[in-house]
A and B are shown apart, each in its own frame.
Chain A
Amino acid sequence: MQILQQLVNGISLGAIYALIALGYTMIYGVLRFINFAHGDVFMVGSYVGYYAATYWVSHFFPVGSLESTVLVFLISMSVCAALGASIEFLAYRPLRSRPKLTVLITAIGVSLFLEYTGQLFFGPNPRGFPPIISNKAVIHSSSITINMIQVVVITVSLGLMLLLRVIVMRTKIGTAMRAVSFNQQAASLMGINISRVITFTFIIGSALAGAGGVLYGTMYPSIEPLMGILPGLKAFVAAVLGGIGNIPGAALGGMIIGLVETFVSGTGASTYRDAIAFGILIAILVFKPSGLLGKREIEKV
């Protein structure tokens, strides 16, 4: 096993998990519930990227050119942002004051709805994702090969994470987001429009998932309507591992899950790959439920 090679593979997979995990963690931060449908928004992002690249952008720019790739990302991210905002508006907003379990069941319903409507519209068979990024090797030596896709995946993810960091820490709406996640009631008393902040959070989180979907499609160029389930769950595990509600934690958790998974597959136990993430989840919930970077919350009676 080539450790260096596995490290690169793990980081690029982890970067995608991190992008999805950010959405989970941000939505958890403001609404205190797990948006089960997030993994399916990621799937929709992949399909939008597929359709945009194959049928639309290719009329204007050749597939693989910089313009077309940027356009595909932008289209996928905006469609996902709109989808996320409408899910919030239609399904979650009417339930805002209801018990958590009700919202959770609704989220499962939304998730199933996206999966199976996807199956109806996109067809259940896997499709090949167009090569919007060439897989030419950038660095090639006996011990390690890094191709263009991995470079793009890692840079785009890091770039988006930095952008998110700037939005959350430096802008007015970001400050409002942090205030809402800190104490919703107090934030609303200070004149923050809670609904607007929540919608904004869904827009940002879903756009990240959309970008993640396109990246995943370029890395594993076979997409199908149920593809969002497992990466979604693993990204959720990543969010919990880093401490749910904590943005750097989600990024860290995503990287760890990606690396662990790649190394486990590398040692030959690849059939156990999908069980690893859940094993980590159970371990973290038993030993440190607040996550690696999360703060322990005291429940007030």
Chain B
Amino acid sequence: MKSYTGLLIAVVTIIGASFLAPMINPYILGRIIYIGIMISLAVSLNLINGFTGQFSLGHAGFMAVGAYTSAVVTTYLSTHGLEMSGMTGTISFFVALVCGGLLAAVAGLGVGIPSLRLRGDYLAIVTLGFNEIIRVIIQNVDFKIHGTDYIGGARGFSVLPMTTFIWVFLVAAVVVFCVENLVNSTYGRGFLAVRDDEIAAEAMGVDTTKFKVRAFVVGAFFAGVGGGLFAHSNYNITPLDFTFLQSIDIVVIVILGGMGSTVGVILAAIVLTTLSELLRSVPEYRMIIYSLLLIMLMISRPQGLLGPSTLGKLFKFWRKPVVASTD
């Protein structure tokens, strides 16, 4: 399989690059790590929005579930005497991330099921609503084990800094690998069929309901893992890190990169995160630029800046290009 080679190359490169990581200025390294997290989030959202043609505005909600779950796990383990470095640290962090992903996947199932009867704008609002509900619950819930307060409501929750360069980019490589292989497999054509023409797909015997739910569950799982990485790259997380504006940030990346184009989305994640970093001194202009980009893009080039048609030709090794949706 070609893509296994791709994954292998990616893994070797990441491991190689991780030796260089300590040499980079810690601030810049932090931003690079953030880019890696955004890649995981955007590629997983692309499975829902780009490949399956649903429109979710609630990715930050799944991210929040993963972030808080994994942070609870690592905090619990470390307060119970487990060493959070070396081998045990690696294993506990892995377990924490998987737990975060699984719980987020459960949340994805919860969103996916009512969303079956909705499409387009309704789905967008419902997912946005879920995002806000999750945030409000986290803000209000009182979660204590043996008197220790986890979650911390609106004040925030301090998290061990465990996310490193290698973790983030290995996860990103796995997310890209899984999503690409999933949609390019025989089975995964079902996702594209749901996007391209739901009625025709149904007539051909594709169980559109199941595919939509699966897209939500898989996308939410990776968003949860990404959220776990995000939580452990910050010293403190608050519910305000996961408002729907964060979801919109991810959505903008997916739209700009080209819905249904993994390469485009990865590039857009890098470009937009760097751009917002450059606009740091004038944050008020950042969102204005984002919004104008969105409007102009939709009027002139709705398939996204780097649609698969341009890049697919450029990078032949990136398997068969997936044609952008017309509806």
Contacts and interface: CB of A to CB of B under 8 A. Distances in A.
A34 B55 CA distance: 13
A109 B294 contact: yes
A155 B255 CA distance: 44
Nearest to A299: B199
A296 interface: no
Interface string B274-302: 00000000001111101111110011001
Contact of A116 (B114, B118, B288): B288
Contact of A274 (B114, B132, B288): B132
B18 to A, nearest CB: 36
Among A237, A272, A282, the one with the most B-chain Cβ atoms within 10 Å of its Cβ is A282
A115 interface: yes
A1 interface: no
B323 interface: no
Given A112-B248, A272-B136, A282-B126, A94 B290 contact: no
Given A33-B121, A279-B133, A110 B140 contact: no
A301 interface: yes
Given A116-B288, A233-B128, A285-B114, A106 B299 contact: yes
Contacts, number: 114
Contacts of A120: 284-285, 288
Interface residues of A, number: 43
Interface stretch (A95-103, A136-144, A160-168): A95-103
B310 to A, nearest CB: 19
A233 to B, nearest CB: 7
Given A34-B121, A102-B302, A289-B118, A274 B295 contact: no
A91 interface: yes
B163 interface: no
Contacts of A110: 291, 295
A109 B298 contact: yes
Contacts of A277: 129
A137 to B, nearest CB: 34
Nearest to A287: B114
A112 B298 contact: no
Number of contact residues on B: which range applies? 35 or more
B291 A113 contact: yes
A278 B285 contact: no
Nearest to A279: B133
A100 B302 CA distance: 11
B254 to A, nearest CB: 10
Nearest to A229: B244
Contacts of A106: 294-295, 298-299
A91 B299 CA distance: 8
A193 interface: no
A83 interface: no
Contact of B136 (A101, A240, A274): A274
B124 interface: yes
B244 to A, nearest CB: 9
A285 B122 contact: yes
A108 B248 contact: yes
Contacts of A34: 121, 124-125
Nearest to B134: A275
Given A109-B292, A281-B125, A285-B114, A104 B132 contact: no
Interface of B: 53, 55, 114, 117-118, 120-122, 124-126, 128-130, 132-133, 136-137, 139-140, 199, 248, 251, 255, 284-288, 290-295, 298-299, 302, 325-327
12 contacts: A95-B298, A99-B326, A104-B121, A108-B251, A109-B292, A233-B129, A274-B132, A278-B128, A279-B133, A282-B126, A286-B114, A286-B117
Interface of A: 33-34, 91, 94-95, 98-106, 108-113, 115-117, 119-120, 124, 233, 236-237, 240, 271-272, 274-275, 277-279, 281-282, 285-286, 289, 301
